[in-house]
Structure formats: C-alpha cells, structure tokens
Amino acid sequence: MKVVSTTFILAVLSALPAHAASCSWSAKMEEDEGGSVMMASVCGGPKGDAHLMLACFGKPVLSYDLGAAGGQLEPGVSGSFTFKAGDKSLTRKLELEAMYNYFTAELSGPTDPLLALLRGKGDVTISADKYGEATFPLKGSGAAIGKVLAECGKGSGGEAD
C-alpha cells in the first residue's frame, strides 16, 4: 500500500500547475496526430495553469487553454478575445477545439499582427467577457515563435536550428 500511496502522491505532485512566476516561453518538438510538430508555449493565468501555444500546420495556429478556469466547454463555442500588450491591443475570434478544450485561431502568416503583439516585451493579457482574463509573460516569446515559424512549410519532422 505504501508503494501505491507514494506513486499516487508523486503523480499528483507532478501534475500540479507550476507557479505563474516560473512560466516562460519554450519551443520544442511535440507529438501531434499527424506526427512531430514544433510547438512554442507559455503558461500563465492566476494559477499558472492557462497556456498559450503556437504551432504551424501550413499556417501558424494559436491555441489558448483557459486552464481550470475554463472547465469543460460545449462543442461549437467561440468567443472574442482581446490581447493587450503595452499600448497595443487587438481582438480575435477564437473557436473551441472540442477535442482538446482549447480555443484556436489560424493566423494569416508570419506577419500576422497578433504574432507581432506576442513578440513584444512585458506581458500580454488575454480577456473575454465570458471567460475572464489571464496574463502571460512575453520574455523569450520572440525566439520561441521564431522557431515555430522557421518550421512552417517544412512538413512534419523538419529539423531547424
């Protein structure tokens, strides 16, 4: 029984969200349904359990996981989210990807204004009337986003650096 309890405790501890102060941007290869994909991500929000993720599937795709604050959302849901960093802000409609319970948006390409905003300095705050708000650090975002964009058009398994 002690082995099971210790294993259970370790599993719970490893699943706990990191404190928001330890959240930083990273870019690494991750497995997706279609194979390996370069993914840039950062955690944030009040509990550090919300996530912003960027991948490239022909075009850059931004995903926003609300974390525990989002709960289980109904398929077919969408929302207008405002991204604010410094003195710049823009609003985008994001669609719920029901399989993962993330809101997503396909971006126009490497020069998309939202990518420019996410490559800024300081923090970005994402808010929506129905879903509240979460803040994410932008430190390191330019390098992480750049790695993802370098993979755009290479197909799965592309190696860059």
DSSP bridge pairs for 43: 51
Q: Nearest 5 degrees, angle CA 30-CA 157-CA 14?
A: 15
**pTM of structure:** 0.79
Q: The tokens 């398929």 sit on which residue?
A: 75
Rounded CA separation 155/150 (Å)? 11
C-alpha dist (Å) from residue 59 to 25, 123, 152: 20, 24, 7
Show the 3-state SS of the chain.
CHHHHHHHHHHHHHHCCCCHHHCCCEEEEEEECCEEEEEEEEEECCCCCEEEEEEEECEEEEEEECHHHHCCCCCCCEEEEEEEECCEEEEEEEEEECCCCEEEEECCCCCCHHHHHHCCCCEEEEEECCCEEEEEECCCHHHHHHHHHHHCCCCCCCCCC
pLDDT at 34: 73
Could you tell me if residue 45 is left (phi over 0), alpha (psi between -120 and 50 degrees) or otherwise beta? left
Q: Domains in the chain and their CATH numbers?
A: 19-151 (2.60.40.1880)
Going residue by residue through the chain (161 aa), what tens digit of pLDDT does each one get? 333 322 222 232 233 344 444 689 999 998 877 788 899 999 999 899 999 999 988 889 999 999 987 777 888 899 999 999 999 999 999 999 988 899 999 999 999 999 999 999 999 999 999 999 999 999 999 999 999 999 886 654 433 33
Cβ count near 88 (within 10 Å): 12
pLDDT at 126: 97
Phi, psi of 65 (to 5 degrees): -100, 115
Burial (0-12, 13-18, 19+ Cβ within 10 Å), 1: exposed
pLDDT at 154: 65
pLDDT at 21: 46
